[in-house]
């Protein structure tokens, strides 16, 4: 039956005429969205509003690396495709959501991925990793600075399995201490982490355990694999399942990435069809 929102009727999410189930896997975007440590805050202005103009129009100033978003290869690797140059099939397709629970600063490795998905992953899959960290998503250093993350062996696994898109519920395609949060390129943004990591690791320095700058970003992008960061929403509801994903970005000329609405779709009755494209 339909649902009513502010007096307007919509088909209910799980009882629509298509028979499909839609699950939102994106965090909300807007004013004071949680932001990576050196990005300018999101700014939203009402250019027209009801009392003034009888319409609502808003101007947004933002990076495209806010909230749930997809990186273009050109974001990190010079001379590689921008977001408008990536073939459209990369933004739609089947895939899996796997559970790999991780705690503060733990590494996601080749062996973790093989244990969780080695028997079910297929070439061309979208693979989303649920570490549980999306529950911490907020304007805090716990989410951005202390999260777990992929290390180079994880990148090797994705390349070996020939997946086309990687997604995860953490702040970047790399461990946070392999980014400018730690000792690399334009960092450290948070110098106090050096001493904390030394104590946490039992005497190893952060650059000893994470000597390369964004190695997983570069490994993925140079192999035609895209990365979705900050996955959230109803992620737990589809974890452990094979689903269909849709997450189209803007057709942005020379775009380095794009905020997306990541959606997982299931078809319980297998009664829906995509049209053949015949003339009518």
Per-residue pLDDT tens over the stretch 176-228: 999 999 999 999 999 999 999 999 999 999 999 999 999 999 999 999 999 99
Secondary-structure percent of the chain, ordered helix, strand, coil, rounded to 5: 25, 20, 55
- List the domains of the chain with CATH numbers: 3-27+63-266 (3.50.30.50)
The predicted structure's pLDDT at residue 16: 75
Rounded to an integer, what distance in angstroms lies between the CA atom of residue 279 and that of residue 210? Answer: 56
Condensed to tens digits (0 to 9), the pLDDT of residues 126-182 reads: 999 999 999 999 999 999 999 999 999 999 999 999 999 999 999 999 999 999 999
- For position 108, what pLDDT does the model report? 98
Whether the predicted pLDDT of 2 surpasses 90: no
Model confidence band, residue 11 (pLDDT cutoffs 50, 70, 90): low
Over residues 51-106, the pLDDT tens digits come to 999 999 999 999 999 999 999 999 999 999 999 999 999 999 999 999 999 999 99
Q: How many CB atoms lie within 10 A of CB 241?
A: 13
Tokens for 270, please give them. Answer: 């297998």
Largest pairwise CA distance in the chain: 70
Percentage of the chain surpassing pLDDT 70?
A: 97
DSSP 228-280: EESB-TTHHHHTT-EEEEE------TT-SEEE---EEEE-TT-----------
Is residue 158 within 8 Å of 118, Cβ to Cβ? no
Give the model's pLDDT for residue 13.
Answer: 62
Pairwise CA distance, residues 249 & 261, whole Å: 8
């Amino acid at each position: 039956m339909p649902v009513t929102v502010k007096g307007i009727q919509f088909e209910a999410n799980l009882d629509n005429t298509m028979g499909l189930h839609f699950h939102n896997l994106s965090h909300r975007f807007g004013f004071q969205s949680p932001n990576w440590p050196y990005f300018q805050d999101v700014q939203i202005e009402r250019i027209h509003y009801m009392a003034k103009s009888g319409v609502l129009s808003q101007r947004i100033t933002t990076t495209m690396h806010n909230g749930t978003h997809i990186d273009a290869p050109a974001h990190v690797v010079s001379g590689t495709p921008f977001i408008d140059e990536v073939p459209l099939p990369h933004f739609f397709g089947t895939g899996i959501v796997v559970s790999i629970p991780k705690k503060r600063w733990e590494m996601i490795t080749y062996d973790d991925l093989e244990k969780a998905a080695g028997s079910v992953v297929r070439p061309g899959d979208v693979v989303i990793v649920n570490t549980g960290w999306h529950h911490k998503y907020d304007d805090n250093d716990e989410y951005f600075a202390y999260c777990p993350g992929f290390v180079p062996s994880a990148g090797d696994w994705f390349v070996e399995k020939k997946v086309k898109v990687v997604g995860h519920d953490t702040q970047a395609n790399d461990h946070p201490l392999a980014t400018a949060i730690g000792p690399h390129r334009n960092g450290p943004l948070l110098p106090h982490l050096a001493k904390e990591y030394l104590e946490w690791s039992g005497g190893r320095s952060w650059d000893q355990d994470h000597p390369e700058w964004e190695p997983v970003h570069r490994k993925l992008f140079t192999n035609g694999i895209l990365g979705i960061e900050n996955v959230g929403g109803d992620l737990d509801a589809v974890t452990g399942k094979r689903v269909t994903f849709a997450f189209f970005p803007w057709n942005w000329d020379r775009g380095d990435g794009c905020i997306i609405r990541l959606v997982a779709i299931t078809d319980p009755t297998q009664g829906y069809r995509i049209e053949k494209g015949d003339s009518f």
